[in-house]
Structure 1
Amino acid sequence: MTYPSARRTVLATGAAALLTGCSNYDDNNDSGSSQEASSPGSSKAGASAGGEELARTTDIPVGGGKIFKDQKIVVTQPGKGEFKAFSAVCTHAGCTVGSVSDGTINCPCHGSKYRIADASVAHGPATRPLPAEKITVEGNSIRQA
């Protein structure tokens, strides 16, 4: 014997759990332009910017980058003194990117590559860029905003 109200509760609870587990990897980035970065010495990133220090500017090679797996962020320096930050979660299948080399951020799962300057797709199967992340640069410190 089945109790209709109990069955509805179980179905509704299960559906809610399924919807909670599914998400679009760039939900937090509505325009791709949410990055906040400034040049070393710039007043744009004041002391009140706070946030966790990710790295020193000298830790990020010019023309390369560094992945911060715990924070799921990759910070790049496409040109001297120009720092960018993007999500380290591949937009193809949700893997964490594994390396930064030869001007691209590389995903080890299926071979997607993203350009270090703007995280646009250089090689698929990904079709969407990595979402921008907010950082501040003050002096030699790069902080998560």
Structure 2
Amino acid sequence: MSEQFTNNGKKSKITSDIREYVEKRVQLLTLTITEQVARIMAESFQKVLGMFILSFALFFLWFAVGFLIAELIGSFSAGFAIASLPLFVVGFIFLKSKSKSITEKVQAQLMASILDDIDFEKEAKQDKLEGKKIGQK
């Protein structure tokens, strides 16, 4: 009878250990995904801010070009119209073209960075299991 209680106690301990292990793995996965999303968002924010600053500079440069052309031909409206023509052409090309290639490139870049992070984490775990320090081979 006492053996049955001992076996049931071992089974319940193993069950609780497995449950705890699975919960810890889920928490680790959640933290890993959160870290990757935060990193991607930070990089995206940095790139968006850089693009905003560059576009602001380009805006003022285009104004200067408009004033220069206006000065050369003697008409402000014609100068700004001529300066805006390349913007309309480029905008029309972007509007009519398919952005599938750009979307695929961005998607591939995001997937590659996520997979690189996952590979690094696997290597770090393997090195830890082998007793090595991360970064040494």
User: What TM-score range do you get, normalising by the shorter chain?
Assistant: under 0.3
Q: Larger Rg: 1 or 2?
A: 2
Larger helix percent: 2
Larger strand percent: 1
Tell me the TM-score normalised to structure 2 length.
0.26
Tell me the TM-score normalised to structure 1 length.
0.25
The higher-RCO structure (CA 8 Å, 6+ apart) is 1
